[in-house]
Copies of this chain bind each other. A is one copy, B any other.
């Protein structure tokens, strides 16, 4: 096999960049702190990681992460920055997502030679596409399951996040469904707790969704949060399927790669990936993983949807980063004939009718789920009016009509613009 895995990192180091890159390559392949007799030239040629490219950037006077002094170099005055690309032969690990993690995002974060190290991108050979299922429904499948074409799925999160009973959840769902919602999700805090067990919630919610589908021909997609232990997740998934549901949600970081892959292989409905905990990877510019690298792991594992925040969100993520993430979701991961593994980006966090036009302008696509929690639930005209205000905002966006103009003919949009400005 000659396939290779490529990973690009941002690094900062008191050493020359070339030497620092060699330390990374050695630590993450055949090296240890001293050369061993059985580390033959042939072994290094076949299994050593290769430094493919070094792009020097600026240098800084203060290390970005706390670092121990270099022995015999007490007076380091500059820390060099650069982007470095390494490659590994697939022979080292095979097409295995968990072992890919150990290889490209393992011990190297701890190396004392670095005062910053962030994984920026990952290019995987097609054997990964053969070994992993990827998204089962993706964009087209999600549209088919919901019957929504040529516009975003208008979605919401049941709020309060946690604390409602199954019956109270169903009461909210009834209002949402009657209001014309396309997609509903549990909050990531609402999974299978004793005050609102998943099966009881499914049993309370699905009759409403099924009755609405029988009446209108359109099934609202409800992403039931099955996050939990493996057998519990599979069992709860089966309950959702038996009740006629079309989606389950999983908190991907909380469950982990092997668990999500296992759920996907069993899954018969759309798999909604929530990235709670993402800040751990993203908040520091000097440590962690970019969305570009991160989300590819979960696409291969097989989620159909993944969260990307939203414009002017309540979190710390900048708008440009949100848009880049959404575009990444829609960009093929592999060249044909391997599957592209495109997934639906989920806009969420502080979203109301006010961000629809800017979102459409920035992403130039309607292949997305647009979720508003408070933006629907707290609409002054009630839940149905909240849903209608979002639909109207997206109609205006796609038609290229200014929000304010469209609002003159559409009362719910006008109320939203007034309430959430």
Using CB atoms and an 8 Å cutoff, list the residues of chain A in contact with chain B.
Answer: 1, 28-34, 36, 38-39, 43-44, 46-48, 65-68, 90-94, 96-99, 101-103, 105-112, 114, 117, 159-164, 168, 172, 188-189, 191-195, 227-233, 251, 253-262, 274, 276-289, 309, 314-318, 350, 373-374, 377-378
Contact = CB atoms under 8 A, between A and B. Distances in A.
B43 A378 contact: no
A257 B254 contact: yes
Nearest to A23: B314
A168 B309 CA distance: 49
Most chain B CB atoms below 10 A, which of A106, A231, A378: A106
Nearest to A1: B194
Given A162-B92, A284-B65, A314-B112, A102 B277 contact: yes
Q: How many copies does the complex hold?
A: 2
A261 B34 contact: no
14 contacts: A30-B160, A36-B374, A47-B195, A98-B191, A99-B228, A102-B188, A102-B191, A102-B227, A103-B189, A106-B251, A255-B256, A256-B256, A258-B259, A283-B287
Nearest to A68: B316
A277 to B, nearest CB: 5
A43 B160 contact: yes
A189 B92 contact: yes
Given A30-B162, A316-B67, A98 B254 contact: yes
Main secondary structure of the interface of A (DSSP, over half): loop
A257 B254 CA distance: 7
A258 B226 CA distance: 12
A38 B377 CA distance: 9
A81 B352 CA distance: 32
A284 B282 contact: no
A109 to B, nearest CB: 3
Given A99-B227, A277-B109, A159 B258 contact: no
Given A229-B261, A254-B258, A262-B262, 14 more contacts: A29-B161, A31-B161, A36-B378, A46-B195, A65-B283, A66-B283, A91-B194, A92-B162, A92-B193, A105-B280, A110-B278, A230-B230, A254-B257, A258-B258
A259 B260 CA distance: 9
A56 to B, nearest CB: 23
B261 A258 contact: no
A284 B279 CA distance: 13
B228 A258 contact: yes
Contacts of A257: 254-256, 259
A229 B195 contact: no
B192 A279 contact: no
A6 B288 CA distance: 26
